[in-house]
Amino acid sequence: MISTPGTLIVAQPSFAMQFAVGLAAGLVAGAWHFLSLKWNWPLFCAGKIAAALGLQSARLALTCALLLLLARIGAPALLAGMAGVLIARRIAVQHYGDCGGPA
């Protein structure tokens, strides 16, 4: 390891720690991301397009910011975070079921 003046050297968290943090953060973010659709789609249906697009933008921005933060921690954190988002999606779909649209 080469150290130069003014360079901060920080130890990388362990694989298990990265995985645990990523999975927990992904589950929480995924749950918020998919469950906030419950508030978003009525806004679109009511014609409140500006509010609906604002909430949609916030959903996407927060999810992207979390994934970017996890990527800076490390690849295991990012992959576990994405797995957490997908697990949360599956739980939300199973819990709330079919939307009643065409197959």
In tens, the pLDDT along 41-83 reads 888 899 999 999 999 999 999 999 999 999 999 999 999 999 9
Q: State how many domains the chain has.
A: 1
**Residue 64 domain-assigned?**
yes
Cα–Cα–Cα angle for 18, 36, 20, nearest 5°? 10
**Residue 76 domain-assigned?**
yes
Domain range for 24 is 19-93
CA pseudo-torsion sign 82, 88, 89, 91 = positive
**Residue 75 domain-assigned?**
yes
How many percent of the chain have pLDDT more than 90? 62
Best CA proximity match to 22, nearest among 92, 102, 81, 86: 81
What letter would DSSP give residue 14? P
**Residue 51 domain-assigned?**
yes
Burial call 23-56: b when 16+ CB within 10 Å, e when fewer: bebbbebbbebbeeeeebeebeeeeeeeebeebb
- Tokens read off for 22: 């990523």
Q: Is the pLDDT assigned to residue 89 strictly greater than 70?
A: yes
For residue 83, count other CB atoms closer than 10 A to its CB: 16
- Tokens read off for 96: 């709330």
**Residue 80 domain-assigned?**
yes
Q: Is the pLDDT assigned to residue 101 strictly greater than 60?
A: no
Task: Please state whether the predicted TM-score (pTM) of the whole model is above 0.85.
Answer: no
